[in-house]
Structure 1
Amino acid sequence: MTRLIDFFELVIFRHRAWVMVLFGLLTGFLLWQATQLKLDAAFTKNIPLNHPYMQNYMKHQKNFGGANSILVSVCGRDSSIFNETFFTRLKDVHDQLFFIPGVDRSQVKSLYSASTRFTEVVEEGFSGGPVIPADFNPANPAGLKLVSENIVKAGIVGRMVSDDFKCAMVTAQLLELDPQTGEKLDTLAFADNLEQQLRGKFEDDKISIHIIGFSKMVGDVAKGAKDVLVFFAIAIAITAVMVLLFCKSLLLTLLPLLCSIIAVVWQMGLLTLLGFGLDPMSILVPFLVFAIGVSHGVQMINSVGKEVIAGQTAKQGAQKAFRTLLIPGGVALLSDTVGFMTLLVIDIGIIRELAITASMGVAVIILTNLILLPVLMSYVKLGEKYKARFANKEQRSDRFWNYVAHCSNAGVAKVILAVVALLFAFGWYQSEQMKIGDLHAGAPALHEDSRYNQDTFLITDKYAISVDYMSVLVETTASACTSFEIMNAIDEFQWKMENIEGVQSAVSLASVAKLINAGYNEGNPKWRVLPRNQQSLVQDISRVDTSSGLLNGDCSVMPVILFMADHKAETINRVVNAVKEYRLQYEREDLQFKLASGPVGVMAATNEAVSAAQAPMMLYVFAAVIVLCLLSFRSLRATLAVVLPLYVVSILAQALMTKLQIGLTVSTLPVIALGVGIGVDYGIYILSTMSHKLKAGMPVRQAYFDALKERGSAVLFTGITLAIGVSTWVFSSLKFQMDMGILLTFMFVVNMLGAVVVLPALASVFWYKQK
């Protein structure tokens, strides 16, 4: 290893100019590539496509539509819907939505749809027609009265018309491909079209427009994600001030910032080269790459400064720092990279892209901060004034480190470890109560007072349906809907599910057939049952078209659609568990109740995928860190001293999530891996210095004090700077970014304290003979 480092040092510093030229050319090329990077938020990236629920969802998507739907509620601000202004505006919204690229036009439904019909029982038998007749004139009071009667007859109050008759719904399913371009539907552009062509055109002081659905939610998240640029600028400013205070030199402040920005440029350019876009969730990763780069850059500056004070030239100091930090810095960054790559075990596209994005960014830092930065610093001329300021700072810090070194004394160490054990026990108890999935109603990525969530609450409050629905797909044999036994099993299953807490309403072919059967018998409620006579049953179901979404072409699949009050984790778990329990009573070889389709079905699959991935992800993250530490230190004791504090902090982070009511979701699951991956850097830098001294037989306290003198200031600076940078996220308009900011701030600070306080306490136990 020493010969290899010697070789790299010789090649790099003998050809410093060529190294800078090469980095300049690559940076220019990748900067051009980075300008081509686009935001990408495809629906399928957010779901675990290989999960059994999603296999069922994809299998029947063509017949029953997907989970990617849009609900547009048109509401009168001060009056009911029965006026000319409202119906004119409703028709405008329907027509406009119909022509927006990406909408499945066959699935656009509202009061104005030809398929929205009513049926009533009259003396001659049945009478019916479209709810809004072809000659309807909204300016005619008689026409408005007729439509109001038809709405009641059609039984669509609570579905297409709100319970208070102040709103009406327009719904649509989206296509996967844009029919104009033939390419994958641009979700963000579609969300912009909804905002501009619907709300922008038709909302005024008399009519309000409320839009919910996956595409609209992602569009709102993307708008909020643009705030990240502001936070990125704030982070650069804060970091610059902190680095300036640390190194006492404007030039030395600019160098690590420059190298870290180059790392971000490389990361963005490489994403474009690999054909990836930047998802709103992974847009936070460049900030982390920048912060990690600065933290490692400060270690390099600190090391060079110490060498210059010792009498070395800038070039000699840079070479020595390169030799000293290449292994610990490389191991730390490699640990970060491998830790992020463990996120690939999670079978959700958005998390896998996050893993690739973060891994590439951290891997690039190995080049920019461990090679380019020392080369640039070798050209810097540090005057006597700088040396004096740096020396004064070192003298002041030595007194502080002498005090901190008491953590390695046997008596103090026992107290520290006892406190850590108590915190671990408390954290373990709390973390066991952590829930999988969203814990609040509305879109979890957005704040409760966001326009999208306010629209969600309004629609949930005024209608018996919402975008929160789940379909249980009943698979059976062809023409099974003519069998009383099968239809009765579906009906009984639906009745049981309707009585589960959290299910607002439910509909299936069986429930609709009962209504039609009553209609054939003078509308008598006593006949609202499934007829046992096959001919009567055929007569009932013949009036239900496949476009209703309640059956497929040969009646071999009939979904039971459950409209839910919300998509909270406990609600989803309760309903899914009820489905699994009740279906056992009815399933047989020719009758299967399959989970699940619809937006809540997607969430259920995602929650189960997250739950299944949690333990393996943590195992792989810590396994990677352990292996790399063992290879680096070649000591089990040193490895445990680094890893144990990390594990305690990860448990405490899960306890914090429980306390703050933050569920384990697609957006929060990667935070633990990110925190561990970045947190390991502190321990590696301190122990890399301690390890050599301990192997030489030096007492633990002295070895720790020397390590603090050499690395402590940079470690302390790194932890505080990273924490301050991500703590600004609490002001984000995105709730998931705020949650990530809180968790990362906690993990950065506490991991730093673990390396400075707990690591030496463990060392005093592991090397108890070296007192």
Structure 2
Amino acid sequence: MHGKMDLLCAYIVRRKVAVLLLVLLITAAAAVGIVRMKNEVILQHLFPYDHAYLRLHARFAEVFGGGGTGLAIAVKVKEGDIFNEQTLTKIKNITEEIELWDEVYRSLTISMATNSTKVIKAKAKGEIQIEALMYPDPPKSEQEMALLKRNIFSNPMYNGGIVSEDGKAALILTEMKENIPYEQIFKKLKDLTTKYEDANTSVHIVGFPMLMGYIYSYKYQMIAVFAISVLCMVIILFISFRNLVGMIAPIAVSVICTALGLGFIGWSRINFSPLLYVLAFLVGARMVSNAVQITHRYIEEFARTGDKERATYHTVRAMWMPNIMAATTEMAGFMVLGIAKIVLMQQLAVIMGFWMATIALEGPLVPIICSYLPLNRDKLRVKEAGKGPIARASEGLARISVGYAGKRFVIAAVTLIVLGGSWQMMQLKVGDLTPGSPILRDYHRYNKDQAVINGTFNASSENLTLYYEGSQDSVYDPVVMTTFEQFDQHLARTLPDIYKTSTSIIGFGKMLNTTLHDGDPLYYQLPRQEDTLAGLLGFVRQTVGSANLMRYIDNTVERANITIYVADHTTDNLKRIREAAYGFFKDRPMKTSRGQFYLAGGRIGMEMALNQEMKEVHWRIDAMVLVAIFIMCVIAFRSVVAGVMLTAPLILSNMIAFSYMSVMNIGLSVNTLPCSAVGVGVGVDFAIYLYSRCREEYPNSKDYKSTVLTAARTTGEAIIFTGITLVIPLLAWYFMAGLKFQAEMGFFLSMLLLTNMISCMTIHPLMLLLIKPKFIAKDALDIDDAVVKAPEVAT
């Protein structure tokens, strides 16, 4: 095996010009695909496509409309109330503008100014009329204004719903279509805010389209943060190496790998969601990390031999296999994300898996590029490996960890991490843990607007839908309407702190029944006789118009729904809503003689499905990442012991990561799960390079302690350089990033890298010395001996 590898490495070094040109040619072809990249947030890609709730939502969306992208727009005044011509005209104009947008389901738009918002009036001679509440124009006279107030505040459907109970705010609810351009709709919504806000009027907008718009708005700020981070890396590399080789080679190779990765995304036409930008930078950072390790080794070899060709060969021969192992293990960390039945995760597995695979090219490319850059041997800060202060510090840390007191300290620390981490991991929750959006900072306008709407109205952009489907005209069955009504009352009683209101055809039926009984509030209920109920609802459908009622009931009267509005979709509240909803049917059949009820639709149903999928899959993903790393390490070192030794410390890192998320109240989501899963294997390459160096050093001393300390002194220096190069730029996100998610993930990943760096200098040396694994001695590789056996590498 060694002989064949020696020949291959020698051949690559002899043909390094051809190798470099071939890679650059392939990179140029791939880079053309970058302009073909799609950067969109696609709603269906964020949720488990195979979940029963999502299939249910899709089936009934074809009947009632709605894409799970609700939008709530509040118009609020500071002084007085909204019942004046100027404010009501604003509400009317906003409603009309929105209804004309191509991205909106017009029939699902509700406000006091829509034609579908009705009031029932009793006229002379027993005539009943159903008229629009405030359509087509606001009232002009004081009498009309007083009548509008009475019609709103005397109606439970409208009081607190589309108008706040204090009369100082009005609400416009609508549903956006699927796969809309969020940047475009965000601009329209921001223009709406600018146009209608004034000194006394504020406009507050929440909902998924607005949230995605805000995230899109940070795109260039995120790129600026990434650019500053890259600049920080360059500066740190220059300070660390004090030469062009150490600064240019890692960045140049990372640019090549990045071009290959982004080009693959463009040519494959796989959507590259803006939600993945943070992960893209992580991949780029890992490329720099691996390249720094290899560059450090090249400089070490050049300082030792003074010959660029021999230094290139030494580095390729020593670092290529560890580099391939590191790339393979990290690629596995992304590939296992594909087991989640979420399109975004599956796309992530493919594109990031390929991108990570390009790191394997760094083994030969970095030394080749280094060989073409000027490097003065006499001016190198460290002419021999292990003579600098950082090298001595890394050796000192390893020496302490294997000493009498240090050994006990490390074991005690590991024990505490296992005990504390195990408990904290059990506290980790799935989903969003706070109202508003955890992606944005608490003081962001979106989260403030969410708080305003929740505190002002009995409605929101978060809704749960109960569907009914049966035979033709079966909706007239009193059991259907009674079940809807009792379901609504059950949730209001069970969830008083988060229940807002409900909408269905029941409200129109109750209004009509009350009017038929001279406005007596005792009759604000539905008839229990089927023929009476059918007549009542038939009159409503005929008068209001079936088009205006399509969001509640279909044309054949086979399907109907009731929508419950709640305050938010936080993890704890989703659990409560689900328990309350299914608790209602615990003693009631979901099937009737003519049809069946179905849970759970709406945005809440979609979030429930997502949380269930994440809860079921995240442990499997973490376990599979560890298993994949274990298998790769076993294959690479041809030792089960090596697999165990390299994988076990990663479990500790995982515990620390999940403990941090638990303490900081960060839930597992589509955004955070990939970071946490990839974070499991972030530091495995550190240990791989350490173990590989041990195999090289063992023939020189035949002593495990000397071997481990020498490896810690030499490779440890590169590990610390690498760690600093990544930790500081990532940590800077916490202070620079506008997105809370980006800031938290920057701190999270820097903490993981620092943890793995310390683990590599403490836990791994201790394990190597205690276990004295045979694979270190059995497959020991003497690089100098390999050079003798290999053909000449000079070109």
Whether the 8 Å contact between 1:41 and 1:187 is mirrored in structure 2 is yes
Residue 416 of structure 2: aligned partner? 422
Give the alignment partner of residue 654 of structure 2, picking from 650, 653, 670: 650
1:748 aligns with 2:749: no
Q: Distance in 2 between matches of 1:695 and 1:519?
A: 97
Aligned partner of residue 109 in structure 1, secondary structure: coil
Change (3 A) 1:128 1:401: closer
Q: Deviation at 1:338?
A: 1.1
Whether the 8 Å contact between 1:285 and 1:354 is mirrored in structure 2 is no
Letter in 2 for 1:286: A
Q: Deviation at 1:67?
A: 1.1
Q: Distance in 1 between matches of 2:39 and 2:168?
A: 37
Q: Deviation at 1:663?
A: 1.2
Q: Deviation at 1:691?
A: 4.3
Q: Deviation at 1:448?
A: 1.8
The more displaced of 646-655 and 469-478 is 469-478
1:596 aligns with 2:600: yes
Q: Deviation per CA, 1:437-494, whole angstroms, max 9, x where unpaired?
A: 1111112211121121222111111110000111122344432332233433333232
Aligned partner of residue 456 in structure 1, secondary structure: helix
Q: Deviation per CA, 1:280-316, whole angstroms, max 9, x where unpaired?
A: 2111133212211111111111111221122241121
Give the alignment partner of residue 462 of structure 1, picking from 456, 468, 475: 456
Percent identity, aligned pairs only? 24
Aligned partner of residue 430 in structure 1, secondary structure: helix
Residue 118 of structure 2: aligned partner? 117
Structure 2 counterparts to residues 678-757 of structure 1, below 5 A: 678-691=682-695, 698-731=702-735, 732-757=737-762
Q: Distance in 2 between matches of 1:340 and 1:577?
A: 34
Aligned partner of residue 682 in structure 2, secondary structure: helix
Change (3 A) 1:363 1:158: same
Q: Deviation at 1:690?
A: 2.3
Residue 788 of structure 2: aligned partner? none
Give the alignment partner of residue 662 of structure 1, picking from 651, 659, 666: 666
> What is the count of residue pairs matched by the alignment?
761
Whether the 8 Å contact between 1:111 and 1:131 is mirrored in structure 2 is yes
Aligned partner of residue 276 in structure 1, secondary structure: coil
Letter in 2 for 1:358: M
Whether the 8 Å contact between 2:590 and 2:598 is mirrored in structure 1 is no
Residue 192 of structure 1: aligned partner? 187
Q: Deviation at 1:38?
A: 4.1
Q: Distance in 1 between matches of 2:73 and 2:98?
A: 9
Letter in 2 for 1:191: F
Residue 180 of structure 1: aligned partner? none
Aligned partner of residue 203 in structure 2, secondary structure: strand
Whether the 8 Å contact between 1:248 and 1:389 is mirrored in structure 2 is no
Letter in 1 for 2:748: L
Change (3 A) 1:587 1:689: same
Letter in 1 for 2:208: F
Q: Which runs of 5+ in 2 are unaligned?
A: 778-795
Q: Deviation at 1:348?
A: 1.9
Structure 2 counterparts to residues 122-137 of structure 1, below 5 A: 124=126, 126-134=128-136, 136=137
Aligned partner of residue 98 in structure 2, secondary structure: helix
Structure 2 counterparts to residues 268-283 of structure 1, below 5 A: 268-283=262-277
The more displaced of 166-175 and 144-153 is 144-153
Aligned partner of residue 212 in structure 1, secondary structure: strand
Whether the 8 Å contact between 2:429 and 2:662 is mirrored in structure 1 is yes
Q: Distance in 1 between matches of 2:597 and 2:491?
A: 13
Q: Structure 1 length normalisation: TM-score?
A: 0.93
Q: Distance in 1 between matches of 2:3 and 2:145?
A: 90
The more displaced of 437-446 and 156-165 is 156-165
Aligned partner of residue 596 in structure 1, secondary structure: strand
Give the alignment partner of residue 160 of structure 1, picking from 156, 159, 162: 162
Change (3 A) 1:745 1:396: closer
The more displaced of 585-594 and 639-648 is 585-594
Residue 233 of structure 2: aligned partner? 239
Change (3 A) 1:88 1:305: same
Give the alignment partner of residue 540 of structure 1, picking from 536, 546, 559: 536
Residue 62 of structure 2: aligned partner? 62
CA RMSD of aligned residues (A): 2.5
The more displaced of 505-514 and 474-483 is 505-514
Q: Deviation per CA, 1:411-460, whole angstroms, max 9, x where unpaired?
A: 63243122201211111011101111111111221112112122211111
Residue 555 of structure 1: aligned partner? 557
Give the alignment partner of residue 612 of structure 2, picking from 570, 589, 608: 608
Q: Deviation per CA, 1:239-292, whole angstroms, max 9, x where unpaired?
A: 112212222213431121121122222222221111123312111133212211
Whether the 8 Å contact between 1:414 and 1:761 is mirrored in structure 2 is no
The more displaced of 58-67 and 141-150 is 141-150
Letter in 2 for 1:371: P
Whether the 8 Å contact between 1:494 and 1:508 is mirrored in structure 2 is no
Q: Structure 2 length normalisation: TM-score?
A: 0.90
Letter in 1 for 2:755: V
1:633 aligns with 2:637: yes
Q: Deviation at 1:390?
A: 4.0
Structure 2 counterparts to residues 133-148 of structure 1, below 5 A: 133-134=135-136, 136=137, 138-148=139-149
Q: Distance in 2 between matches of 1:398 and 1:714?
A: 8
Q: Distance in 1 between matches of 2:385 and 2:266?
A: 47
Q: Deviation per CA, 1:698-728, whole angstroms, max 9, x where unpaired?
A: 3332121121133111111222222212112
Give the alignment partner of residue 242 of structure 2, picking from 244, 248, 266: 248
Residue 368 of structure 2: aligned partner? 375
Whether the 8 Å contact between 1:314 and 1:378 is mirrored in structure 2 is yes
Q: Distance in 2 between matches of 1:80 and 1:760?
A: 72
Give the alignment partner of residue 570 of structure 2, picking from 568, 571, 574: 568
Whether the 8 Å contact between 2:74 and 2:205 is mirrored in structure 1 is yes
Q: Deviation at 1:175?
A: 2.4
Whether the 8 Å contact between 1:642 and 1:755 is mirrored in structure 2 is no
Q: Distance in 2 between matches of 1:227 and 1:603?
A: 28
Whether the 8 Å contact between 2:386 and 2:392 is mirrored in structure 1 is no
Q: Deviation per CA, 1:97-137, whole angstroms, max 9, x where unpaired?
A: 22333222333332222211101446625343111254x46
Q: Which runs of 5+ in 1 are unaligned?
A: 177-183
Change (3 A) 1:271 1:392: closer
Residue 491 of structure 2: aligned partner? 497
Residue 37 of structure 2: aligned partner? 37
Q: Distance in 2 between matches of 1:370 and 1:692?
A: 17
Q: Deviation at 1:391?
A: 3.9
Give the alignment partner of residue 339 of structure 2, picking from 328, 333, 345: 345
Whether the 8 Å contact between 2:514 and 2:524 is mirrored in structure 1 is yes
Q: Distance in 2 between matches of 1:543 and 1:67?
A: 30
Give the alignment partner of residue 169 of structure 1, picking from 171, 175, 192: 171
Whether the 8 Å contact between 1:264 and 1:286 is mirrored in structure 2 is no
Change (3 A) 1:388 1:420: closer
Q: Distance in 2 between matches of 1:415 and 1:636?
A: 27
Aligned partner of residue 678 in structure 1, secondary structure: coil
Q: Deviation at 1:95?
A: 2.3
Q: Distance in 2 between matches of 1:750 and 1:503?
A: 44
Q: Distance in 1 between matches of 2:272 and 2:391?
A: 45
